[in-house]
Amino acid sequence: MRLRDHLSTRETARLEQVRLACPDITDVCNLARAFTDLVRHRRGKLPGEWIRQAETSDLPTLRPFAGSLRQDYDAVTAGLTLPWSSGVVEGHVCRVKLLKRSMYGHASFALLRTRILTSP
């Protein structure tokens, strides 16, 4: 999914060989690149168009994904337009789960609580 400018000439040639051999790959590549562009450039006003293209394509693997995006359309649009992220919270949740797994069966809840509250 690297930008075409960042592909080597060998990678570009190989991609073209694959695209010529299988037309479905071309459709998948085009839709995947369009979706990547939406996410990279945070184009929250355009996912409806991409969802319609994916739902009407002949690619059975993309239709369920597009359907799930349509079901959660407000959240998708918010994620692509708003500057806020839950990344920090997710990082803390991951850290707590790691501590919990590492201490499972070896320590009490009080020690786990202390370790969570005192670790950076």
Confidence of residue 93 (pLDDT cuts 50, 70, 90): very high
Distance CA 37, CA 25 (A): 18
The sign of the CA dihedral 30, 42, 77, 79 is positive
* Domain ranges within the chain, ordered by starting residue: 4-81, 87-118
- With CA atoms as reference, report the closest residue to 62 among 13, 94, 28, 99: 28
**Residue 41 token pair:** 């450039």
Mean pLDDT over each residue of the chain, to the nearest integer: 87
Region 49-78 average pLDDT: 88
Above 80 in pLDDT, residue 61? yes
pLDDT tens-digit readout, 6-21: 888 899 899 888 888 8
Confidence of residue 98 (pLDDT cuts 50, 70, 90): very high
